[in-house]
Structure 1
């Protein structure tokens, strides 16, 4: 079973990749199932939320056209902050998603990739505040499937990887809450594109999640262009086995479906 559960198309602000082209590429790679997870990030750059009506219309058209060749699921990526929870709750209540990635792309409307969030803070401060924001959100919101690229702040840390020992306490709190809610985490293979030395999230986080009793895990390429589709997913499945995992998940109507690795 080969599934890619993090994919963006031209319905996301940072991609021009046509949905039908994504599907054709996935079929050519013999991927069994994909899930589109378009971006929604409120109160940043004039609200980076996809056009739901157009997105779902095209999704339904493609799902019907390719139904005998590949399984396609309707997902979304909520780039949530504490002060935007209510906006996302309305979206979730309105649409019938199979899968929701809950991500943290910015804190206090300050994005990480531009270094606006890190500016004026020590490495300890911006790392702690990043994880604190995630913990605050999931203590108030539970209509999600997995946490996306949990240690994403590492991707944009110009001072290098922050010691895991310094954030293990708060990461433990996050993972404990995730497990309590019956949710999961994803392995995001964009780590290879960004030249990171570790997986995303790190192997330390993945080990901790399993030790705490976590079982729900998805794998996604975070596709934005053709060469991203399915990238390193087979490799990550083997890495998860080495870390002691036996299964990974796909989703249907927000319910996890387990598959052997």
Structure 2
């Protein structure tokens, strides 16, 4: 079964990819199921109906239009592809309440739990890393993730779990130094019946490892983790389904037996 479970469209602030074009491209590529997971990042972005939003605010998904479009496309292309309704929750501990409300408001098949910033400071522009040692910003990132999985339960999988690697100006921080925190995170994820994602943007960004790393994937397997989704994190046509079949083969070689899709937040296994 060919799927892509991390996709962005014009409804994300950082993409202009027309949502119907994405669906048509996925069909042309022979994908059987996709999940569209556009961005929500409370703390640094605002909802359209927020009375306190500045005029120049960066906006979250336009939820009414988004879910209406997804339902329309789901019905229009139902004979050609399965479309699942997802969102990527860019959560911080101080925004949990907003995400709880969002989750209760809209119908979702799948939720990616991501961290894109800590204390409203973003990684991509080095705002979070600035004036911190490599140890401080790495342990700070994983401690925030640990606090989130202990508190917030309305998600399906952790997206690009070691995303901080992508934006580390000092290279990859040694796995052994953060392994104790990562193990606590994974144990909580497994205990809660959640999973992790393999995000194939590692190939796009020319990283030296998978995302999350092979060390994290092996540890997840060793601890009894089974639920894994695979997504390209594509924001444009070029990267849809990028390297997903290759990643499936590598997961199989690691000893994993299944990858997963989701329907109404319930995981569905498929043989690798």
Q: Shorter-normalised TM-score: what interval?
A: over 0.9
Does 1:209 pair with 2:257? no
Residues 172 and 122 (structure 1), Cα distance of their counterparts in 2 relative to 1, 3 Å cut = same
Q: Which runs of 5+ in 2 are unaligned?
A: 46-56
- Deviation string 1:191-235 (CA, Å, 9 cap, x unpaired) is 001110100000000000010000000000001000011100001
- C-alpha distance in 2 between matches for 1:136 and 1:120: 23
- C-alpha distance in 1 between matches for 2:255 and 2:106: 36
- C-alpha distance in 2 between matches for 1:230 and 1:21: 14
Aligned length: 261
Does 1:10 pair with 2:10? yes
Does 1:98 pair with 2:109? yes
Aligned counterparts, 1:177-256, within 5 A: 177-256=188-267
8 Å Cα contact 2:150-2:188 kept in structure 1 = yes
Aligned counterparts, 1:1-261, within 5 A: 1-45=1-45, 46=57, 48-261=59-272
- C-alpha distance in 2 between matches for 1:161 and 1:43: 27
TM-score when normalising by structure 2: 0.95
8 Å Cα contact 2:13-2:58 kept in structure 1 = no
- C-alpha distance in 2 between matches for 1:87 and 1:220: 25
8 Å Cα contact 1:81-1:133 kept in structure 2 = yes
1:77 is paired with a residue whose SS is strand
Q: Which runs of 5+ in 1 are unaligned?
A: none
8 Å Cα contact 1:39-1:48 kept in structure 2 = no
TM-score when normalising by structure 1: 0.99
**RMSD of aligned Cα (Å):** 0.7
- C-alpha distance in 2 between matches for 1:72 and 1:175: 28
Shift of 1:48: 4.0
- C-alpha distance in 1 between matches for 2:174 and 2:255: 23
> Runs of at least 4 residues of structure 1 off by over 2 A?
45-48
